[in-house]
Structure 1
Amino acid sequence: MFLPANQISMLVDRGNDFGTQNQEILDSYGPDIWIFRNQADRGTTRALNLYRGEVRGFEYLTPRIRITPKEFSPSNRARYLHFICSPKRAQEIMSEVDEIAGWTPITIFEPIPDRCVPSELPALKAVLPKIAILSPNANEACSLLSLVPADGKEPSKQLIEKAASIFYGFGSDSQSNVKVVIRSGELGVYIKDSPDDGLWIDAYWGAYDSGKVVDVTGAGNAFLGGLAAGLSLCDDDVRKAAEYATISASFTIEKHGLPVLKEGLWNGERAEDRLHAFASRAHR
């Protein structure tokens, strides 16, 4: 939402059932973004999100197709690399990146929801030296660390801060400079990027705007895409970048399906205008 199409790349598996409507929606964002792998002999990969309150379930409905770093041509090897997978798979991805001469991307790792379990914690610790930014959501962070909310409901700010400090400590133990960004729904986002303190950034649509939140599917992806854009525009300042990320997520959750881009407006509004209004509100 903040960068031109020719500065962004996403590899998409396009099955034989992809359909013209899906194609038109993606093309409306700018055809330069998309790198399609056509799968004429099978359908498009599909998955199901299940929501029970704030707890999300996720399962694939079709076999997934693995994407590897080597499938990006030299012209598409980005400075910022956002990927979603298990911690074990993240180790493999970073090993593959290391084998590509001259490519040292700033990595944003989002653990896939169904692998945010304590048994994946050793693999996560092992890959942290290669990761610039670790970003689970609040429930995923607590699940990885076996932290249980006192009321048995949603993680509190205090519990989220504890989780972030533990993850940050893992990085310190491994001589990593990993920054921790925990996405926390209506509470906003908590950033732990130094030993001394952390920072909460409010959600754009908070509890008092609950009627504006229509569908949270894709909010985490949009947030971290916005974070990468913000990093590129703010000299890698993760705190400033998180404001861009918050705005990206805000457009995504206010309607079903993907946000609509038309004549430079996202859902009828300029992303930059919303960013400036949010920044002014946050700094008052």
Structure 2
Amino acid sequence: MDISFTSFGLVVLDETRFPNRKPLTNVLGGSGAYATLGARLFLPSPLSRSLAWPIHVGNDFPDAIAEHLQTWDTNLALDKEPERPSTRGLLEYQDTTFGPKNFKYTTPVLAVQESKLQGSALLTSKVYHYLATPQDMKTHVLNILAIREKEGILDRPLIIWEPAPLSCKPENLEACLETAALVDMFSPNHLELAAFFGQSPASDTSEIERLGEKLLASGVGPEGKGTVVIRAGENGCFVRSRTTSQWLPPFYKADIGEEQPAKVVDPTGAGNAFLGGYAIGYLQRKGDILEAACYGSVAASFALEQVGMPEKSNEGGEELWNGESVVRRLREYRARQEL
């Protein structure tokens, strides 16, 4: 089976702390886990085996989580370090609304290296997803394309880049713009976008649009044919290319008087899931970036309904996530946008 999607994002075991509540430990997270979730939602088994999932973990990675991931029926490649701990993070919420939070890694990061892919099916993937600094991302793109060429794989994959949050600073803007020219889809969130330009987070959509235009004008993708997607939380996402400029709302919108929609439990990972969903939408809808963003918005909705990952089940031969049909939710969302 051809490989459709591969994420080089991290798989992280989080400890999640809230005020006046017992912390949660070994919560599966990380950009790689959530991006793979977003893609997996739209690839029911056996299509799920077209998802390549390289994971680099340590000697303390829980067997129960490894066994749970096997139930997703993906092309899982678990690389275990016998002498090192897994990548772990501490996620601390400042209040009980899942709003303001702080995150830090508590162990050294175990990343997946492209060099390990030589001779593997992962090299044929149609899409690659990364979360990286501008400097590292440039190296990643050049590496993956060179390794593929060496193996005789000459068609270009879709390369999706979300910037590492701590690298989003004005002093990295020039490097960011240089690297954005090498990828096919660049997707900061609205906070990261503002931080690159040295501004406080934009509260109105027009400012997000203005900064998105600046990114596009600098040239995104080979020959400037790439796409910028700004993920903007409760405002949804702004999709911008040479031929498209459109906002799409989030799947869940707050009712009047509500701080946040009742179904929204924890937004952690929703942006990563968006990108995995976007990737599969892009493939299934033959490069239509608005359709792809619809898939992304629906994928994000499943990520934020709980702490950690949604639950997969099967009913009448159809896969359900949190008891819901992904296809039905996508149909409902697309109908709202009249697409």
**Normalised TM-score (structure 1):** 0.91
Provide the rounded CA distance (Å) in 2 between the counterparts of 1:144 and 1:36.
34
Q: Whose RCO is larger (CA < 8 A, sep 6+)?
A: 2
**Which amino acid in structure 1 is aligned with residue 88 of structure 2?**
R
Q: What secondary structure does 1:148 align onto?
A: coil
Aligned mates of 1:255, 1:210 — CA distance in 2: 13
Secondary structure of residue in 2 paired with 1:229: helix
Instruction: Give, as a single letter, the amino acid of the residue that structure 2 aligns with 1:262.
Output: S
Contact persistence 1:247–1:274 (CA under 8 A) = yes
Counterpart selection for 1:111 from 163, 166, 178? 163
Distance 1:116 1:159 in 2: 17
In structure 1, the residue matched to 2:184 is 132
Is 2:87 the counterpart of 1:36?
no
State the partner residue of 2:89: 47
Determine what percentage of the aligned residue pairs are the same residue. Answer: 29
Does the Cα contact within 8 Å between 1:139 and 1:155 map onto a contact in 2?
Answer: no
After superposition, where does 1:161-176 map in structure 2 within 5 Å? Answer: 161-171=209-219, 175-176=223-224
Give the counterpart letter for 1:91 in structure 2: K
Residue in structure 2 matched with residue 279 of structure 1 by the alignment: 334
Match of residue 218 from structure 1: 269
Structure 2 residue aligned with 1:257: 308
Distance between the aligned counterparts of 1:203 and 1:233, measured in 2?
21
In structure 1, the partner of 2:50 is 7
The reply on whether 1:270 has 2:325 as its aligned counterpart is yes
CA distance in 2, matches of 1:266, 1:64: 30
Preserved contact between residue 16 and residue 44 of structure 1 (Cα < 8 Å): yes
CA shift at 1:127, angstroms?
A: 1.4
C-alpha RMSD of the superposition: 2.0
In the TM superposition, what is the alpha-carbon distance from 1:98 to its structure 2 partner?
Answer: 2.8
1:206 CA displacement: 1.5
CA contact (8 A) 1:128 1:174 kept: no
Partner of 1:82: 129
Superposed displacement of residue 174, structure 1:
8.2
Query: Which whole-Å CA distance do the structure 2 matches of 1:240 and 1:174 have between them?
Result: 22
What is the deviation of 1:281?
1.5
Find the partner of 1:233 among 281, 284, 298.
Answer: 284
Alignment of 1:58-97 (within 5 A): 58-72=103-117, 73-77=119-123, 78-97=125-144
One-letter amino acid of the structure 2 residue matched with residue 282 of structure 1: Q
CA separation of 1:37/1:130 partners in 2, compared to 1, >3 Å: closer, same or farther? same
Task: Label 1:265 to 1:173 Cα distance change in 2 as closer, same or farther (>3 A).
Answer: closer
TM-aligned CA deviation for residue 84 of structure 1? 0.4
The Cα of 1:65 is off from its aligned counterpart by 2.4
Residues 89 and 103, structure 2, Cα contact 8 Å, conserved in 1: yes
When residues 231 and 255 of structure 1 are mapped into structure 2, their CA distance, relative to the original with a 3 A threshold, is same
How far apart, in 2, do the equivalents of 1:116 and 1:57 lie?
Answer: 16
After superposition, the Cα gap between the structure-2 partners of 1:57 and 1:176, relative to the gap in structure 1 and judged at 3 Å, is: farther
Unaligned runs of 5+ in 1: none
Equivalent-residue separation in structure 1 for 2:83 and 2:51 (angstroms): 28
Task: Give 3-state SS (helix, strand or coil) of 1:71's partner.
Answer: helix
Structure 2 residue ranges without an equivalent (≥5): 1-40
Cα distance in 2 for residues equivalent to 1:116 and 1:12 = 25
Pick closer, same or farther for the CA change 1:173–1:127 going to 2, 3 Å: closer
Higher alpha-carbon deviation: 274-283 or 8-17:
8-17
- Structure 2 CA distance for aligned equivalents of residues 48 and 241 of structure 1: 32
Residue 267 of structure 1 deviates from its aligned partner by 0.5
Is residue 199 from structure 1 mapped to residue 246 from structure 2 by the alignment? Answer: yes
Offset of residue 266 of structure 1: 0.6
1:8-27 → structure 2 map (5 Å cutoff): 8-27=51-70
Aligned residues: 278
Q: Distance in 2 between matches of 1:158 and 1:217?
A: 25
Counterparts of 2:160 and 2:111, CA distance in 1: 18
Residue 55 of structure 1: CA displacement? 5.6
Alignment TM-score, normalising by the size of structure 2? 0.77
Query: Partners in 2 of 1:173 and 1:6 — Cα distance?
Result: 29
User: Structure 1: how far apart are the matches of 2:110 and 2:62?
Assistant: 19
Instruction: Report if aligned partners of 1:58, 1:114 keep a CA contact under 8 Å in 2.
Output: no
Paired with 1:97 and 1:172, the residues of 2 have a C-alpha distance of: 18
Deviation per CA, 1:4-43: give whole Å up to 9, x if none.
Answer: 221111211122211122113212211x331111111121
